[in-house]
Amino acid sequence: MASNISDIIEAYLKRLMEESGLDVIEIQRNELAEQFHCVPSQINYVISTRFTTDHGYIVESKRGGGGYIRIRRVKLDKDHLLWDVLRSLGDEVSQSASEALVERLHRDGWLTDREASLIQAMLRREVLALELPYRDRLRAKLLASALQALAAHRKT
Claim to verify: residue 145 and residue 94 sit in the same structural domain: yes
Claim to verify: residue 107 and residue 121 sit in the same structural domain: yes
In angstroms, the CA 79 to CA 82 distance is 7
Claim to verify: residue 104 and residue 65 sit in the same structural domain: no
Claim to verify: residue 47 and residue 67 sit in the same structural domain: yes
- The pTM of this model reads 0.56
CATH number, residue 59: 3.30.56.130
Claim to verify: residue 86 and residue 146 sit in the same structural domain: yes
Q: Is 156's pLDDT higher than 60? A: no
In angstroms, the CA 10 to CA 45 distance is 10
**pLDDT at residue 2, as a whole number:** 46
Claim to verify: residue 146 and residue 89 sit in the same structural domain: yes
For residue 141, the one-letter residue type is: K
| Tens-place pLDDT, residues 54-98 | 677 778 887 766 667 888 887 656 666 666 677 667 788 889 888
Claim to verify: residue 37 and residue 93 sit in the same structural domain: no
Residue 108 structural domain: 79-153
Last residue of a domain, one of 36, 56, 73: 73
3-state secondary structure of 65: coil
| Tens-place pLDDT, residues 12-64 | 999 999 898 888 899 988 899 999 999 988 998 999 888 887 677 778 887 76
Last residue of a domain, one of 46, 73, 100: 73
Last residue of a domain, one of 58, 73, 88: 73
Number of domains in the chain: 2
In angstroms, the CA 99 to CA 88 distance is 15
